[in-house]
Amino acid sequence: MQQFEKDLNATLFQREGRGLTLTRAGEFLLGEGRTLLAAAQTVAARVEQTAGGAAEVFVVGHTPALSGSEAYARVEPAILAFPATSFTFRQLYPDQLAGAVLDGSVHLGLRRGVVPTNELATAILGYDRVRLAMPGEHRLAGRSVVDIHELAGERIALWAPPGTSYYSDFLMGACRRAGFEPEYVVSRVQGAATVAAPLTTGAIAFVTTVPGPAMDGRVTVTELEPPLLVGAQALWQRHTSSAVRDALLSQGGQT
């Protein structure tokens, strides 16, 4: 280890008796080293796959905030552009998604919001318009458009408490900018389509589903004014290349 420090011309550990703690240089090396090792393992696996003549499989992970159909819509340009490539979609919770991308088991992660990270590369694939889903018998269900100020006093369904999810913080922030402190309830059904939340919570949910009846007419989706847009953020391993990923990153826009 001392020779390694000499080669780098940097002190990596602070030695105190028999104990060792990382210096700032050591912490930097640990972070970058983990990223580089993950990329090296991914490249080695792809080389082995190519040498063996196996068909390429591109794995897309997405959080519950993006439905399976929304994730497919984001990836469809690459699916059409690479007919020889197989695609697999996996739903993962936010705390699992970054780890799966970092260890290479997921080639591209998709999540809501814009969350900076030093370990992964990120980009915004596009923006989606946020709408409201509510029980079919709700007082606002007959409206084609609902102003966000009219949500004051209503319960809002979330999939994670504020402070633990960027998306939850984003939604709560939109309410606060409208001048009211939102009352919220965390859905007890995790991993299901976000538009289903009103059925088990009786609350209004922010969704990106198209307006109209949903869940066999038991839920109504209405437009929200003023318009609120939320990003779809892509995450991938740094120091790796992918033609499939490049095709996706060249796309953009909103729905």
Domains of the chain, CATH where assigned: 1-48 (1.10.10.10), 51-126+232-252 (3.40.190.10), 127-230 (3.40.190.10)
Dihedral angle at the C-alpha atoms of 120, 122, 128, 129, nearest 10 degrees? 90
Q: Which residues pair with 132 in a beta bridge?
A: 206, 222
Q: Which residues pair with 91 in a beta bridge?
A: 62
Alpha helices by DSSP H, 128-201: 166-177, 197-201
Cα atoms in the 13 Å half-sphere on the side-chain side of 232: 30
Question: What does the pLDDT read at residue 113?
Answer: 72
Whole-prediction pTM? 0.75
pLDDT digits (tens, 9 = 90+) for 131-172: 999 999 999 999 999 999 999 999 999 988 898 888 899 999
Of residues 118 and 177, which shows the higher confidence score?
Answer: 177
CB neighbours of residue 228 within 10 Å: 19
pLDDT digits (tens, 9 = 90+) for 66-90: 888 899 999 999 999 999 999 999 9
6-22 residues labelled b (16+ CB within 10 A) or e (exposed): eeeeeebeeeeeeeeee
Peptide bond into 226 cis (omega under 30): yes
Percentage of the chain beyond pLDDT 70 is 82
Say whether pLDDT at 97 is over 80: yes
Which of 83-92, 102-111, 243-252 comes out lowest in average pLDDT?
A: 243-252
Question: What does the pLDDT read at residue 193?
Answer: 84
- Burial class from Cβ neighbours inside 10 Å (0-12, 13-18, 19+) for residue 192 reads middle
CB 247 within 8 A of CB 81: yes
Of residues 240 and 2, which shows the higher confidence score?
Answer: 240
CB 244 within 8 A of CB 78: yes
Q: Give residue 9's region: left, alpha or beta (phi > 0; psi -120 to 50).
A: left
Which two structure tokens, joined as six digits, stand for 223?
């437009």
Considering the chain, what is the average pLDDT of its residues? 85
Question: What does the pLDDT read at residue 38?
Answer: 60
Mean local confidence (pLDDT), 194-205: 94
- The length of the chain is 255
Question: What does the pLDDT read at residue 41?
Answer: 64
Question: What does the pLDDT read at residue 147?
Answer: 98
